[in-house]
Amino acid sequence: MTCFGACGCYPGKRRGSSRRGAHWRIFTLKELQAATNNFNYDNKLGEGGFGSVYWGQLWDGSQIAVKRLKVWSTKADMEFSVEVEILGRVRHKNLLCLRGYCVEGQERLIVYDYMPNLSLLSHLYGQFAAEGLLDWPKRMTIALGSGEGIAYLHHLATPRIIHRDIKASNILLDSDFEARVADFGFAKLIPDGATHVTTRVKGTLGYLAPEYAMWGKASESCDVYSFGILLLELISGKKPIEKLEHGVKRSIVEWASPLLVEGKVKEIVDPKLKGMYDEEELQRVVHVAMLCAQIAPEKRPNMVEVLEMLKGKARNVEMSSVEKDDKVQHESECAGVGDEISNEKTRPAVGDEISNGNETMQNSVN
Number of Cα atoms under 13 Å in the Cβ half of residue 72: 9
**Measured distance CA(114)–CA(174) in Å, rounded:** 8
Number of Cα atoms under 13 Å in the Cβ half of residue 99: 19
Which residues are paired to 362 by β-bridges? 353
Beta strands in the chain (DSSP E): 25-26, 44-47, 51-57, 63-69, 98-104, 107-113, 160-162, 171-173, 179-181, 188-190, 196-198, 201-204, 217-218, 241-243, 249-251, 340-343, 351-355, 360-364
313 is in an annotated binding site: no
Buried b (16+ CB within 10 A) or exposed e, 317-340: bebeebeeebebebbbeeeeebee
Which residues are paired to 157 by β-bridges? none
C-beta atoms surrounding 187 within 10 Å? 21
Provide the 8-state DSSP code for 346: S
Q: Which of 113, 135, 165, 325 is catalytic?
A: 165
> What distances in angstroms separate CA 276 from CA 16, 197, 270, one per listed residue?
56, 42, 10
In contact, 205 and 335? CB cutoff 8 Å: yes
- Let me know if 326 is a catalytic residue: no
Q: Which residues are catalytic?
A: 165
> Which residue ranges make up the annotated binding site?
67
> Which residue ranges make up the annotated binding site for ATP?
67
